Amino acid sequence: MIKAMLVVGARPNFMKAASLVRAIQDDPNFDLALIHTGQHYDDKMSHIFFQELGLPKPDVDLGVGSASHTEQTARVMLALEPEIIARQPNLVIVVGDVNSTLATGLVASKHMIRLAHVEAGLRSFDRTMPEEINRIVTDALSDYLLTPSPDADENLKREGVAAEKIFFVGNVMIDTLLRFKQIALGLETWTRFNLQPWAYSLVTLHRPANVDSAAQLHDLVDALVDIARQMPVVFPIHPRTRANLIRFGLLDAMANAGIILTEPLGYLEFQSLMSQARVVLTDSGGIQEETTVLGIHCLTLRENTERPITVTQGTNRLVGLTRARIVATFHAVLSQDHASPRMPNRWDGHASERIVKILRDSIG
């Protein structure tokens, strides 16, 4: 029996873990404990995702809450270690690149427990991003590096990771997307905002580099205001972003421009809205992948991406952070036909099953 511990902590983790938990639970060779660190802890960022995605109630919620990157990482380590000692797993699984991922990897390695990293090998090559540090360190500690795309394999090999530790399994985020696609579509969330399919844009912003600087956020808001003159814009606002929009006096400008401002949406509502958007503008990593599979034009409001396959094989464009470039690319996209769904290799809804087989065959 493989005593596995899967640790999640933030919104992106829940979506990636949902299909993996299901696949593990379907395999009698695994005894799974699900640990929630509480990095994201309120209903809109955490609990609703457990309900919608059918995730079981966590065996324990560490309740670490929000803090600086350093303090949050330390809190997770201190709270998780007693659980590791008490439960004595022989495998710890982490997903993604949030602070909980890094903290869990450090604790598991200190206790000499095998570590599996789902979504390993992604690199933006920008170490000013906290997630990049989390990815690099977690991969260096991991025994099983489960990658979503061939470029991730190449990144790991270039860093000296032994080939026998690297497993190209596909994309667990897409497992969940495909499993819930029809349910989400049936919600017709666009009607809640009096919108028509393919006739609106959808925006998400949350990265500190984009929303913590008054000048940078002002430029992005100006771009969104310009876009709102062309078509309706829906903006579910991340709590951090909302706080800064208020602090910098920018919230009213968007409301006055007719931008539809809403609280964060649940997974199914957001997927429904995204599935019928003409264009999505985002600084999220996962949305770059989801729009590729859904066939939605995606403008990534960053200078780099750790998911280059969404640019080379998908529907994603890196547009940077300047108002002029964002608006110009938006107009260029509008002049084109709808994008077509793209399915990179092994983005087929079965990545979780491949992961379970690899871990079972290697450990069991």
Q: Work out how many domains the chain is built from and give that number.
A: 2
Instruction: Tell me if residue 146 falls in helix, strand or coil.
Output: strand
Per-residue pLDDT of the chain (364 residues; tens, 9 = 90+): 999 999 999 888 899 999 999 999 999 999 999 999 987 655 555 678 788 998 999 999 998 888 899 999 999 999 999 999 999 999 999 999 999 999 999 999 999 999 999 999 999 999 999 999 999 999 999 999 999 999 999 999 999 999 999 999 999 999 999 999 999 999 999 999 999 999 999 999 999 989 999 999 999 999 999 999 999 999 999 999 999 999 999 999 999 999 999 999 999 999 999 999 999 999 999 999 999 999 999 999 999 999 999 999 999 999 999 999 999 999 999 999 888 999 999 999 999 999 999 999 999 7
Residue 324 is predicted with a pLDDT of 97
Number of Cβ atoms within 10 Å of the Cβ of 256: 10
pLDDT digits (tens, 9 = 90+) for 122-146: 999 999 999 999 999 999 999 999 9
Q: Following DSSP, what letter does each residue of 156-187 receive, concatenated?
A: HHHTT--GGGEEE---HHHHHHHHHHHHHHHH
Q: Are residues 118 and 231 in the same domain?
A: no
Q: Are residues 82 and 189 in the same domain?
A: no
Q: Are residues 323 and 278 in the same domain?
A: yes
Sign of the torsion formed by the C-alpha atoms of 363, 163, 167 and 126: positive
CATH number where 289 lies: 3.40.50.2000
Q: Are residues 260 and 210 in the same domain?
A: yes
Let me know if residue 109 belongs to a domain.
yes
φ, ψ for residue 265 (rounded to 5)?
A: -100, 155
Catalytic site positions: 206
What is the domain extent for residue 60? 2-171+347-363
Q: Following DSSP, what letter does each residue of 56-105 receive, concatenated?
A: PPPSEE-------HHHHHHHHHHHHHHHHHHH--SEEEEESSSHHHHHHH
Q: Are residues 160 and 209 in the same domain?
A: no
Q: Are residues 212 and 137 in the same domain?
A: no
CA pair distance 60, 336, nearest whole angstrom: 49
pLDDT digits (tens, 9 = 90+) for 106-115: 999 999 999 9
Q: Are residues 155 and 270 in the same domain?
A: no
Burial of 252 (C-beta count, 10 Å sphere; 0-12/13-18/19+): exposed
Please give the model's pTM, rounded to 2 decimal places: 0.95
Residue 242 is predicted with a pLDDT of 96
Number of Cβ atoms within 10 Å of the Cβ of 169: 23
Let me know if residue 356 belongs to a domain.
yes
